[in-house]
Chains A and B, each alone.
Chain A
Amino acid sequence: MSALTPQRYALGRAVAMVRDRPFVFLLGVALAAIALALPLAIASVLWAARPALALIQPVPEVSVFVSTRATSRDVDVLKGRLESVPGVAGVTLQSKDAALAQLIKRSGFVTTPAELGANPLPDVLIARLELPASEQSLEAVTTTAKGWPLVDSVRSDLDWYRKVRGLGTVGITAVAVFGGLVILLLTLILAGTVRLHASTRADELAVLRLVGATPRFIVRPYAYSAALTLALASVLAIAAVFAVHAALRAPIANLTVLYGAPFTLPDPEPIQLLAVLAGAVLIGWVIGVAGARAAVSGR
């Protein structure tokens, strides 16, 4: 007995299937490559954009505006109280002097703090919430801080947080739906190819049953064939991703210069390419087995 024998036989039969019906095989490869190329290209661009996306990742914050009557000591006490509120990860003080300097710098007015007289701006304590933060915890911190003396007002970025979370949910749902459709498309392509191969090999299937081949032995060549199809399709899709990157690199470089943001579009790393290839082979194998079992059952 040899464990390699069934594998060797299956691989040989898979190659024979490809050789006997090259058009069917190549059509399957081309369709699967098209189905894979778009999500891979989007995924690779998003992967490259991770640092930029991280900047807009919502970290819920609560801004506590301290009364202008408060002394530095009062501000320190309030900062300590805010830090001890459950759910608060950290507190930053945006001092009124720093805020004024920033305002003058941004506004472009040629003036000095001394010319303004008393600084009209308040000290602001900015509390960052622990992640993952709920809307309830954000409101709880807001309500707590509002009740403290020497606090003029409290504002949370709840609306912004809700909007970004909403957008994130839409994005995740869209990705899930899109991914599901791609998987469905790949399944239909591969199952159709397997079924076509099986229908032209009814004689072989009958002989295999007659001589005592197990269902696993019978479907394995189809699984190899489907895995081979998806492996080649993923290679083509990866090539398409490289082409997309090459086409986008210059326009993105121009755009980032205009925005002054250091964003580049690097090519996928070898480990990522291997993961895509391995995933494609695995998915192809699973779909091939399922498709072949469906195709050869009842014959």
Chain B
Amino acid sequence: MTPATSPARPHPLVSFDHVTKLYDGGRAALNDATFTLNRGEFVLLTGPSGAGKSTIVRLACGLEMPTSGQVMVAGEDIARMRGPALPFLRRSLGVVLQNLMLLNDRSVLDNVALPALAAGLSHTEARQRAQAALARVALPPDVGRVRPDALSGGEQQRVALARAIVNRPALVLADEPTAHLDETGALHLLQLLEQFVVAGVAVMMATHGEAAPLPARARVLHIESGRILR
């Protein structure tokens, strides 16, 4: 319990407290994980494939619930969220999953504008924000008119990142965002994420760490077999 006289400490943006995630068959994707992520911090989740990095990302955005332990995001317990609370929380997060989940039945601009529309922004404002987000990830304006499947893997990755930042989130969660990129592309994407961090956005990124040198300012959490080793 915090003493009444001590100044209130801000909540960490993300807090994992002894979190375990078991999948069917009892396999532990994550085992007693405890860590925090503060505002404006860059955390890299490294480790081999299947280590549990994606599980952390999915738990942090409420796509999965912990089997035990507590996942807090922006001071809210993910497992206790009811009704529209979780969607509202997700609006303050920008998520890029391994499967980029771009919709090929509509233009790039409509893909990027979707979170803004879901947040209730007007059509015009959502498209303006989407244009700005595309520019932010260094994609030319005419890319907005084409469909995602007409772009290269690297461009699609950027589109997914643009969609993640269109609502100006406090936290960007990225799962292997450099997976489809060459070294130059990966470096550019990491630089972009670092710029977000400089602007006060927290970034949690899962990576093999092979495509490009890891950002110097990032804190690394190395994970193996569901355990955070450092």
Residues of A within 8 A of B (CB): 1-2, 4-6, 8-9, 16, 20, 203-204, 206-217
Contact = CB atoms under 8 A, between A and B. Distances in A.
B120 A207 contact: no
B119 A6 contact: no
Contact of A1 (B61, B90, B120): B120
B101 interface: yes
A220 to B, nearest CB: 11
A1 B122 contact: yes
Nearest to A211: B115
A213 B120 CA distance: 9
B5 to A, nearest CB: 38
Interface residues of B, number: 28
B215 to A, nearest CB: 25
A209 B105 CA distance: 17
26 contacts: A1-B121, A1-B122, A2-B120, A2-B121, A2-B123, A5-B117, A5-B121, A5-B123, A6-B117, A9-B123, A204-B103, A207-B101, A210-B61, A210-B63, A211-B115, A211-B163, A212-B87, A212-B90, A212-B92, A212-B115, A212-B118, A214-B84, A214-B87, A214-B118, A216-B84, A217-B118
B158 interface: no
Given A203-B101, A204-B103, A211 B121 contact: no
A8 B97 CA distance: 28
A1 B119 CA distance: 8
A2 B125 CA distance: 10
B214 to A, nearest CB: 26
B48 to A, nearest CB: 25
A228 B206 CA distance: 44
Contacts of B88: 212, 214
The 9 closest A-B pairs by CB, nearest first: A212-B90, A212-B91, A211-B115, A2-B122, A213-B118, A212-B87, A214-B87, A1-B120, A214-B84
B105 A16 contact: yes
B223 interface: no
B170 to A, nearest CB: 13
Interface string B109-140: 00000110111111101100000000000000
B103 A207 contact: yes
B105 A206 contact: no
Interface in B77-117: 84, 87-93, 95, 97, 101, 103, 105, 114-115, 117
A211 B120 contact: no
A216 B84 CA distance: 9
Given A212-B88, A212-B90, A9 B117 contact: yes
A8 B121 CA distance: 12
Contact of B84 (A20, A207, A210, A215): A215
A208 B90 CA distance: 10
Contacts of B90: 209-212
Nearest to B91: A212
A162 B73 CA distance: 70
A9 B92 CA distance: 21
Chain A CB within 10 Å — which of B93, B105, B126 has the most? B105
Given A5-B123, A204-B103, A212-B119, 4 more contacts: A1-B120, A2-B120, A210-B90, A214-B87
A210 B97 contact: yes
Nearest to B120: A1
A211 B87 CA distance: 8
Contacts of A209: 63, 87, 90
Nearest to B117: A9
B122 A212 contact: no
A273 B212 CA distance: 67
Chain B CB within 10 Å — which of A5, A8, A206 has the most? A5
Chain A CB within 10 Å — which of B92, B103, B118 has the most? B118
A262 to B, nearest CB: 58
Interface in B26-84: 61, 63, 84
A224 B147 CA distance: 25
Contacts of B117: 5-6, 9
Contacts of A5: 117, 120-123, 126
B209 to A, nearest CB: 25
Nearest to A207: B101
A197 to B, nearest CB: 13
Contacts of B87: 209, 212-215
B63 A8 contact: no
Chain A CB within 10 Å — which of B115, B121, B126 has the most? B115
A207 B121 CA distance: 17
A217 B87 CA distance: 10
